[in-house]
Amino acid sequence: MKQNQTLETTLLVIGGGPGGYVAAIRAGQLGIRTVLVEGAALGGTCLNIGCIPSKALIHAAEGYLKAREFAGKSPLGISVQAPSIDIQRTVEWKDGIVDRLTTGVAALLKKHGVTVVSGWAKIVDGKTVEVDLAEGGTQHIHTEHLLLAAGSKSVELPFLPVGGNVISSTEALAPKTLPKRLAVVGGGYIGLELGIAYRKLGVEVTVVEAQPRILPTYDEELTRPVTHSLRKLGIELYLGHSVMGLEPDGKGLRVQDGAGSQRVIETDQVLVAVGRHPNTAGWNLDTLRLDMNGRAVQIDEQCRTSMRDVWAIGDIAGEPMLAHRAMAQGEMVAEIIAGKRRAFTPTAIPAVCFTDPEVVVVGLSPEQAQAAGYEVLTASFPFAANGRAMTLESSDGFVRVVARKDNHLILGWQAVGKAVSELSTAFVQSLEMAACLEDIAGTIHAHPTLGEAVQEAALRALGHALHV
């Protein structure tokens, strides 16, 4: 590829995250000439500084916690000497997983004939992009179809800028050393996942949340076991508190409650985790004058923007900001460009919080179903009555089903408990296949598994649960 010589293609994808690379791979499979531009590492936030490394850190932290418990009096009869952790080796292990995955993405793109350009894209017009190449120089690319998959960025607080003792999730996932004390600003899933991991690694953790409870977008019954777990772990919660700023010496975080009373939380490091917003600034996207939905690019059910042959997928198109949504959208856009008839109309998209315990939400909650005008049946089955949960030493939590009262059509599932993320596939599949309570209740579930709680919730909604 010669610099300053315009590269011609059919599809140009800006962003190599889950949405962008899946779109490019599928387009390559379909014989579409495709170029993908990525300024950082392939895999985007999810593979490099998000989903994958955070789960790796969570796993390592859980292992270290268990080792410390075995150094005490374990009911399992296991005993060890005082364990320690080399956090640099932990980070190296995490990085190894990330490297294998990103290398795999690169290999798949090459296998399917996708040209990858390393650099930062700037929009010239709806058909042309200029790339500041990572190796130096610029490259112009002309395309028939432009796919925007630039993802999202962490929200920064002007009065608490990242730097020094203030870190974002990116720095939290690659610690060189562990602080003695960590204050987490934000009680959503990012802050709690990392806060719990750090606590299990032996750090004193405080969580500050402006809302009166953690995970405020989920209903209180669902988040109550998580709150209980946080307190059991020794995580201090300041709910209904606003952050005022960092103390001059950087060793204290000033917070204020709803009554205006202030206090200082002593801390060595502050993790800001107050959400993410679409990455729409800084690369001339505004020159296209696309219709917007707040900070997000507005799209229709085929991920088309207001400009012909310009598409947008994933976080840049707003909520829900989930990697699996972006992947599904990317695959669909490639197929539409190839001439297939497609639309993005999923019945439900699962959302998972990898807290301890985990939380899964698929479809409508009881309140949402009622607000939509349905008369509903709801039933929960507790993991306290599930044999497999007991053998995993985790019987907190439950599975809850929401169904229409008239025809028993399932409208939603919610679960909280150990490893319930693995139940999300069963939940979303039942909704996509328009299953009724009788379908789930009549399906033989393997014993002993956590999945039995899914069947038992359906049975309970029908009035004849077997084990509760």
Q: Is 186 annotated as a binding residue?
A: yes
Report the interhelical angle of 220-233 vs 189-200 (nearest 10°): 30
Q: Is 315 annotated as a binding residue?
A: yes
SS3 140: strand
- Cα separations in angstroms, 196 against 85, 308, 392: 16, 46, 19
Q: Is 187 annotated as a binding residue?
A: yes
Q: Is 188 annotated as a binding residue?
A: yes
Q: Is 257 annotated as a binding residue?
A: no
Q: Of 140, 145, 241, 447, which is the active-site residue? A: 447
Q: Is 207 exposed, middle or buried (0-12, 13-18, 19+ CB in 10 A)?
A: buried
Tokens of 317: 């198109």
Tokens of 406: 């008239």
Tell which phi-psi region holds residue 290, choosing left (phi > 0), alpha (psi between -120 and 50) or beta.
beta
Identify which of 198, 150, 163, 151 has the alpha carbon closest to the alpha carbon of residue 272.
163
Residues in the chain: 468
Q: Is 260 annotated as a binding residue?
A: no
Report the interhelical angle of 18-29 vs 87-111 (nearest 10°): 30
Q: Is 55 annotated as a binding residue?
A: yes
Q: Is 228 annotated as a binding residue?
A: no
Q: Is 265 annotated as a binding residue?
A: no
Sequence letter at residue 289: R
Does residue 447 have an active-site annotation? yes
Identify which of 214, 221, 257 has the alpha carbon closest to the alpha carbon of residue 237.
214
Q: Is 324 annotated as a binding residue?
A: yes
Q: Is 189 annotated as a binding residue?
A: yes
Q: What is the DSSP letter of 217?
A: T
Distant-in-sequence, close-in-space partners of 38: CB < 8 Å, separation ≥ 6: 15, 16, 20, 44, 116, 117, 118
Tell me how far apart the 2 most distant CA atoms of the chain are, in Å: 71
Alpha-carbon dihedral sign for residues 442, 445, 447, 451:
negative
Q: Is 62 annotated as a binding residue?
A: no
- Measured CA to CA, the distance from residue 145 to residue 218 in angstroms comes to 38
- Cα separations in angstroms, 317 against 93, 287, 431: 33, 17, 24
Q: What is the dihedral of CA 276, 277, 278, 282, to 10 degrees?
A: -110
Q: Is 176 annotated as a binding residue?
A: no
Q: Is 199 exposed, middle or buried (0-12, 13-18, 19+ CB in 10 A)?
A: buried
Q: Is 191 annotated as a binding residue?
A: yes
| Known binding residues for NAD(+) | 186-193, 209, 275
Active site residues: 447
Annotated binding site for FAD: 55, 315, 321-324
Annotated binding site: 55, 186-193, 209, 275, 315, 321-324
